[in-house]
Structure 1
Amino acid sequence: MTDSLRILITNDDGVDAPGMEVMRRIAAELSDDVWVVAPSGNQSGAGHRFTFGRELSLEKREDRVYAVTGGSPADCVVAGMTHVLGERPADLVLSGVNHGQNLGDIINCSGTAAGAREGALQGAIGIALSQAIDYERRGEVVWDNALNWGSRVVRELLRELDGPGAYYNVNFPFCAPDAVSGIRVVPHQRFSRSPLRYYPSDNDGYFFIAIPETPRPLDKAQDFHLLHHDDAITVTPLLLQQTNEALAARMDGRLRLAEPDA
């Protein structure tokens, strides 16, 4: 256990979600200084939304455990890092463990990924953890791989840190723990189009925004394929700096303002 490591936990499934207890058990293997600031209810798909212009409330559930009513994971990390933890913010922000995989372009709307991203933006190490499920089995979740491998994967990432500017997205496969093929550090799958779609409701006049199917084709060297077909734990390092630097360098000095029409 690393006693000096201060850990802040958040998630997007809510402070009372089963994955929160899984994450607390993972964190307890890493440190004795663990804090929780998480949404009071489900915030899945909230992305990196902040709640501007509307009051939030902070409820103390137990020692070092707080719920933010109506708040997003990003709200929770800000409240935790800049208020709850006082003058000593967390060294490590763990987000999850999410009920279901966060893969490919879906990380752009993931509240779980946003919790880790905001942790990194606040100066901590940010790691998002998700436990894959088999949607053909009605979304049943088995936490064995997150529980068995979670602290070990986090320790490996802590050993490999190379300065600020990155955060990490980790997914555990839905197989038996002894069937896990290893850890693969891979890019996230880029889809040819967004997987999000209009989806009609059975209630007249209403609809959902949903992911009815995974776009194809999938790259065999990226996270979607390796998690589902190779039973690998996938780790994707992600950058906070989103500028396409090669394109910026190519375009610099080439753009011109046209003369106004007479």
Structure 2
Amino acid sequence: MALRILITNDDGVDAPGIAVMAEIARAISDDVWIVAPDGNQSGAGHRFTFGRELSYKELGARRFSVKGGSPADCVVAGMTHILGDRPADLVLSGVNAGQNLGDIVNCSGTAAGAREGVLQGAVGIAMSQSMDYEVSHTPDWSNASRFGAEVVSAIMVAHGGDDVFYNVNFPFCGTTEVTGISAVPHQRFSRSPIRYYPSDNEGQFFMAIPETPLPLDPKADFEVLRRGNAITVTPFALQQTHDGALARLGNIVLKGLEEK
């Protein structure tokens, strides 16, 4: 039985990157479904739409859009309804226009699509094509197109049933300049990179990433992608409990209860 693949993204169902992802998926399987937001949901994180009705529209064979839905909404709709009695084995989220690195993954709708895929019982892989915004705001999809299917296949072989989702970033360079694939930790920034950014319109402002917090770990995703021209892959654990803090909290005693 062919691997069943569900694709989503946060750039919208008509974004160029999702067409690239469909090519990647179809190089692996002929059982490929797309359920994606009808518009841009960048920065949506793992938001769910509660308390408001959603609707979906069939755009073509195995291709659906969810009106106003987040990537997480789309994965849930696909895995628990649209795909019928057989949910996907693999959820691919992206290919995002622009890198998803470091702590930015925490607010990434692309990452959330892959994370929700794992929560729904599939393997989840988020994929992003990096860009040099000083050169162009239009991504070159060559590396994602050239290496995407091989990267997905390699991750599936190495997966081993781990309770993780995978975050993949393709470097901004020519395909002949790619140095390989590197399994790396994510960059934990010294502070959040998200900042208040003033608008030219009086009284208005943006949420933006005006600069990268320093210092940067040369062995983490940010620098390996940027300076090493490597495809980076980072596994993110879904069990987020910190064992050290859990142990320290276990020693807490409430004096008020002792006095009773």
Coarse TM-score class (shorter-chain normalised): over 0.9
Partner in structure 2 of residue 89 of structure 1: 87
Partner in structure 2 of residue 141 of structure 1: 139
After TM superposition, give the deviation of residue 23 of structure 1 in Å. 0.3
Q: If the length of structure 1 is used for normalisation, what is the TM-score?
A: 0.97
SS of match in other structure, 2:77: helix
2:53 to 55, 69, 82: 55
2:172 to 166, 171, 174: 174
2:150 to 145, 149, 152: 152
2:254 to 232, 237, 257: 257
Partner in structure 1 of residue 25 of structure 2: 27
After TM superposition, give the deviation of residue 9 of structure 1 in Å. 0.1
Partner in structure 2 of residue 236 of structure 1: 234
Q: How does 1:110-259 map to 2 (within 5 A)?
A: 110-252=108-250, 254-259=251-256
Q: If the length of structure 2 is used for normalisation, what is the TM-score?
A: 0.97
Describe the superposition over 1:152-204 as per-residue Cα deviations: whole angstroms up to 9, x where unpaired. Answer: 00000000012141110000001001100110000000001000000001111
Describe the superposition over 1:210-261 as per-residue Cα deviations: whole angstroms up to 9, x where unpaired. Answer: 1001111110000000100110000000101010023213432x11123189
Q: State whether residues 134 and 140 of structure 1, in contact with CA within 8 Å, keep that contact through their aligned partners in structure 2.
A: no
SS of match in other structure, 1:188: coil
Amino acid at match of 1:81: M
SS of match in other structure, 2:255: coil
Amino acid at match of 2:254: L
After TM superposition, give the deviation of residue 75 of structure 1 in Å. 0.2
Amino acid at match of 1:255: I
Describe the superposition over 1:4-45 as per-residue Cα deviations: whole angstroms up to 9, x where unpaired. Answer: 100000000000000010000000000000000000000000
Structure 1 unmatched runs, 5+: none
Q: Supply the distance in 1 between the matched residues of 2:136 and 2:180 (Cα, whole angstroms).
A: 27
Q: State whether residues 59 and 67 of structure 1, in contact with CA within 8 Å, keep that contact through their aligned partners in structure 2.
A: yes
Q: Supply the distance in 2 between the matched residues of 1:229 and 1:172 (Cα, whole angstroms).
A: 12
Q: Supply the distance in 2 between the matched residues of 1:111 and 1:219 (Cα, whole angstroms).
A: 25
Partner in structure 2 of residue 17 of structure 1: 15
The count of corresponding residues between Structure 1 and Structure 2 is: 259
Partner in structure 1 of residue 107 of structure 2: 109
After TM superposition, give the deviation of residue 93 of structure 1 in Å. 0.0
**What is the CA RMSD across the aligned residues, in angstroms?**
1.3
SS of match in other structure, 1:248: helix
Amino acid at match of 1:118: E
Partner in structure 2 of residue 80 of structure 1: 78
Q: State whether residues 218 and 225 of structure 1, in contact with CA within 8 Å, keep that contact through their aligned partners in structure 2.
A: yes
Partner in structure 2 of residue 6 of structure 1: 4
Amino acid at match of 2:180: G
Q: Name whichever of 158-167 and 231-240 sits farther off.
A: 158-167
Q: Supply the distance in 2 between the matched residues of 1:216 and 1:23 (Cα, whole angstroms).
A: 32
After TM superposition, give the deviation of residue 100 of structure 1 in Å. 0.2
SS of match in other structure, 1:96: strand
Q: Supply the distance in 2 between the matched residues of 1:258 and 1:19 (Cα, whole angstroms).
A: 57
Q: State the identity as a percent.
A: 64
After TM superposition, give the deviation of residue 138 of structure 1 in Å. 3.4
Describe the superposition over 1:60-80 as per-residue Cα deviations: whole angstroms up to 9, x where unpaired. Answer: 000100000000000000000
